[in-house]
């Protein structure tokens, strides 16, 4: 009877584990490998911001799973997860399908908690999915139309959170709106990018200042209304008018896994061994946002795409090793640096002895992400488009 591997979640951790498994040497034939995700497309999340400013197109950063998995032997099944029976080693999907497994990978990623302030769930926009990006783009379009008709003077945007996501989306929105926008970041700490290198912090401060983005430090959100936001600073609450609230703070494990009786830490992440197996459950692997962030050396593993990519290689190897009688490898995280977009043609990059900002960092960031895209075929399609698009734009301008 052939062995089966079930991978839940098609983000960086899940998809790249599936692709790595398909490339290993299965002496007795490749097991049945199925990748499950509720969406039909993979999202290259670090480039999601470029959709807002229309620097990139959906097909470039969100290729269909069926396309990426073609000729790999990996099956894609579009569905949500209903429940997991770890004793029977079966997964019940929301579409009624039941999958048996010999090894399972939990890689459903995290979600943005929208219950951190009253009204946030109803009126704020998170930024994790294509739907979030489309919702933001449409809202910006409506508001820009309102400016043209004279209904409003400025588009007022509040970005909650001064971490990477908050700074990046604030820069993109500020670029898109230009003088028609008033963008502010609301940060509860006394500085933005608290865990980032000082070089990145200074580059971000400079970019935000140039774009006239206001930062409210040591400030918390007490309520989000349909067109207002209430902010608390030094025990004083002010209610301000606002058109868009972007919520970029917080992370919680997918609720689809809430019922699983597996060892967890205080943040509800699964406790894993150095080989990325859930403690006391050797047939279950967990990686990404939902796994406890410590590697075999005790080094903290951040919940980033870079981490998930590295974990995927180890997870694939260790699944293969556990099914073929080979020794498993303890995961060791390598911090390769940090990259951040700071608007159109502007970015910052630190790592491996480099410190870059501006257009050069923007180019380096794009090339790095091009290299990291899931398959060679997709890398080539996107790379060719990036090279030829400026020429096409130039020819279009000349012909006008």
What is the band of 27 on the pLDDT scale with cuts at 50, 70, 90? confident
Cβ burial, residue 192 (10 Å; 0-12/13-18/19+): buried
Q: Is residue 74 part of a domain?
A: no
Q: Is residue 44 part of a domain?
A: no
Domain count of the fold of the chain: 3
Q: Which residues span the domain enclosing 393? A: 338-399
Element housing 211 (H / E): none
Q: Is residue 282 part of a domain?
A: yes
Average pLDDT over residues 266-275: 90
Q: Is residue 98 part of a domain?
A: yes
Residues 6+ apart with CB under 8 A from 142: none
Element housing 323 (H / E): helix 305-324
Q: Is residue 64 part of a domain?
A: no
What's the CA gap between 41 and 264, in Å, rounded?
Answer: 30
Q: Residue 167: its pLDDT value, please?
A: 97
Mean predicted lDDT score pLDDT of the chain? 93
Q: What CATH number should be reported for the domain holding residue 268?
A: 3.50.50.60
Whether residues 213 and 162 share a domain: the answer is yes
- What is the residue-wise DSSP string for 371-385? HHSS-HHHHHHHHHH
DSSP symbol at 111? E
Whether residues 128 and 238 share a domain: the answer is yes
What is the band of 393 on the pLDDT scale with cuts at 50, 70, 90? low
Q: Residue 315: its pLDDT value, please?
A: 97
Whether residues 294 and 310 share a domain: the answer is yes
Average pLDDT over residues 150-163: 94
* Domain limit, last residue, from 202, 230, 247: 247
Q: Residue 267: its pLDDT value, please?
A: 83
Whether residues 384 and 344 share a domain: the answer is yes
Query: Using an 8 Å Cβ cutoff, are 184 and 192 in contact?
Result: no
Q: pTM score, two decimals? A: 0.92
DSSP symbol at 257? G
Whether residues 286 and 361 share a domain: the answer is no
Whether residues 207 and 129 share a domain: the answer is yes
What is the band of 251 on the pLDDT scale with cuts at 50, 70, 90? confident
Q: Which residues of 280-295 are buried (b: 16+ CB within 10 A; e: fewer)?
A: ebeebbbbbbbbbbbb
- Is residue 397's pLDDT more than 80? no
* Domain limit, last residue, from 247, 266, 285: 247
Whether residues 15 and 99 share a domain: the answer is yes
Whether residues 131 and 223 share a domain: the answer is yes
Whether residues 175 and 242 share a domain: the answer is yes
Q: Residue 399: its pLDDT value, please?
A: 61
Average pLDDT over residues 194-202: 91
- What is the residue-wise DSSP string for 286-311? E-GGGB-SB-TTS-B--SSHHHHHHH
* Domain limit, last residue, from 214, 247, 280: 247
Tell how far CA 386 is from the center of its chain. 22
Q: Is residue 344 part of a domain?
A: yes
- List Cα–Cα distances, 4 to 8, 74, 283, in angstroms: 13, 11, 11
What's the CA gap between 161 and 125, in Å, rounded?
Answer: 13
- How far is it between the farthest Cα atoms of the chain? 70
Whether residues 302 and 234 share a domain: the answer is no
């Amino acid at each position: 009877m052939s062995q089966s591997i079930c991978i839940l979640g098609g983000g960086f951790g899940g998809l790249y584990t599936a692709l790595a498994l398909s490339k290993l040497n299965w002496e007795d034939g490749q097991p049945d490998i199925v990748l499950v995700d509720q969406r039909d497309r993979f999202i290259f999340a670090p480039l999601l911001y470029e959709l807002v400013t229309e620097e990139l197109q959906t097909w470039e950063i969100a290729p269909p799973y069926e396309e990426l998995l073609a000729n790999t032997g990996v099956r894609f099944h579009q569905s949500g997860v209903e429940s997991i029976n770890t004793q029977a080693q079966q997964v019940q999907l929301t579409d009624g399908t039941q999958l048996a497994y010999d090894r399972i990978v939990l890689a459903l990623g995290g979600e943005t908690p929208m219950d951190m302030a009253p009204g946030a769930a109803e009126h704020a926009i998170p930024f994790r999915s294509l739907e979030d990006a489309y919702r933001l783009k449409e809202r910006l379009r409506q508001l820009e139309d309102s400016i043209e008709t004279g209904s409003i003077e400025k588009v007022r945007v509040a970005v909650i959170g001064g971490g990477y996501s908050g700074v990046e989306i604030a820069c993109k929105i500020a670029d898109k709106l230009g003088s028609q926008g008033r963008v502010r970041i609301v940060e509860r700490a006394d500085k933005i990018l608290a865990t980032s290198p000082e070089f990145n912090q200074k580059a971000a401060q400079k970019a935000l200042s140039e774009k006239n983005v206001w930062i409210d430090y040591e400030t918390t959100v007490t309520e989000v209304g349909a067109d207002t936001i209430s902010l608390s600073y030094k025990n004083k609450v002010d209610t301000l008018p606002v058109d868009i609230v972007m919520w970029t703070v917080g992370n919680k494990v997918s609720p689809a896994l809430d019922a699983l009786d597996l060892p967890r830490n205080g943040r509800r992440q699964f406790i894993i061994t150095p080989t990325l197996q859930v403690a006391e459950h050797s047939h279950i692997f967990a990686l990404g946002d939902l796994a406890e962030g410590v590697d075999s050396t005790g080094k903290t593993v951040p919940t980033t795409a870079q981490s998930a990519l590295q974990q995927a290689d180890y997870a694939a190897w260790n699944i293969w090793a556990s099914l073929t009688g080979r020794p498993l490898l303890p995961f060791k995280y390598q911090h390769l640096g940090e990259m951040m977009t700071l608007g159109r043609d502007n970015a910052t990059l630190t790592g491996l002895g480099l410190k870059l900002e501006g257009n050069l960092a923007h180019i380096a960031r794009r090339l790095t992400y091009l290299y990291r895209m899931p398959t060679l075929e997709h890398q080539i399609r996107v790379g060719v488009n990036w090279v030829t698009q400026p020429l096409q734009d130039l020819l279009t301008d000349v012909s006008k």
